[in-house]
Structure 1
Amino acid sequence: MTDDLQLGRIQRGRWDVSIGSDLTAARERADMTIEQLSAATRIRTGLLIDMEADDFSRCGGNFYARGHIRSIARVVKADPAPLLATFDAEHAVEEEKSRREERAAVKKPKLNPARPRWAVVVGAILVSLMGWGMVRLFTLPSDIEANASKTATTTATVTTPTPKATSQPSVKPTKKPSAKPPVLKTELTMTARNDGTYLTVRDRTDRKIFQGKLSPGIAQSVTSAGDIRVQVGNPSNLIVVLNGKRIATTLTKFTAHPDGTLTKTTSNA
């Protein structure tokens, strides 16, 4: 199986190690579509497409990703050892970083909020009340004399001038910043007919969205911001609907634009 994977990389014209391309090559050698592999492994088609595009973030962790790889290898009759070795080589750094972060989170000290000592607070309140009572007990005659002298004193009326109102500076209205124009989206639906065809679909950042063979009557819908690049094995076996409008094309490589037009793709899809 290792020799087959290396032979597949030579036929595709590259030697870089990619677990996603190895999974795609193993499925194609087994002559299976994404839907057939999903039915056999009970793994969602969207997750299989992401795994073949080297995106394992939706697997729920490296442990579950390895389990999916073993299930795929068992169905396509491939040796899982080189596939798992490639996966471990690509994700070893990420897993070690996650373990270090978990250890650091465990070692963080927990700070407990200080609780008030209610006995001390109640005792201070009682002492204050007792002291206030003693002061009132010994100063009561003096308080009566002070109140009597206040009653005999004539109070004078004091008038204060009314302050003038100060004028407030006028506030100039602030200009609202102009909003950025929204990013237009492209909605593309491709339906296979006759004998079906093989498709490779990428977004405007060259990220692989879909790759595989569409069986007759099967439709693949893609929505992405900006352009969508498509490579078709047999255009005559494909019905293209762009932004709700059917468009006839004989191009094997084309780009779908948000304005509802198709143009020929000059670069590799």
Structure 2
Amino acid sequence: MGKSPDGKSPEDDSPEVSRNPTEDDRPSIGRALQEARVAANLTVDEVSAATRVRVPIVHAIEQDDFSPSGGDVYARGHIRMLAHQVGLDPDPLVERYDAQHGGRPAPTLAAPLFEAERIRPERRRPNWTAAMVAAIVAVAGFAGFTLIGGGDDAGKTKPVAEGPTPEDTNTATTVPSKPAGEPDPSESAIAAAPRDKVTVKLSARDDKSWISAKAHNGKLLFDGLLLKGQSKTFQDDDQIDLILGNAGAIDLFVNGKKVEDEFESGQVERLSYTQGDPEVG
């Protein structure tokens, strides 16, 4: 093809092909949450009161600053709660967050049973038969010794070694009561939680709940849904931090004791427990 007087070919003068909008043209995570909140006619204070996410954190997230959340796990939880409150689907926002922050953190599977449940040595029962035989032999020996010891007294009536007297027999055959402090075999294994650790058990009673659990060093123990009827048990040497997305659906046991706080359905709770609890953190 020929060139124009300025040396350019006709293709050079053709208009540029317009680009299709890409995903980068979408508003940021914080901007999307802010626009949805405004569209829902909600204030930051109202969103904070409904989700239990503090006002400064809500403001920071709407500016795409996730550092006040305290880590990826908490940031993902905050995004989910805020999105639910303003009427957005949280999954695409969380996926974008993961893509921008190195991917979703891999959850660490919690031990299916804590130490006291996994290793329960069989208790040795007292051998009462052997104890009874030993007691009877001791009583018979004492009676025989008395008979032999009185042989020098010719004028005295010698006792007959007929075995233990009814009173002695009664003493020897009495079975002592169950040793103090020995747990009833029917008690739940959670009651045997070791005292040198903090043990937390979560059970979804009548609905599912999103939960997050972290150890004292910040290690993620679990992050996901606990479905109705499911249970998770977590254990750490010092402290376990929890976030319950639907606290009213959860039965909570700490160090072998049930936490009786009346959480409401849909309520978000942040809790921390250490040795010697239950005490809401």
Question: Taking structure 1 as the reference length, what is the TM-score of the superposition?
Answer: 0.34
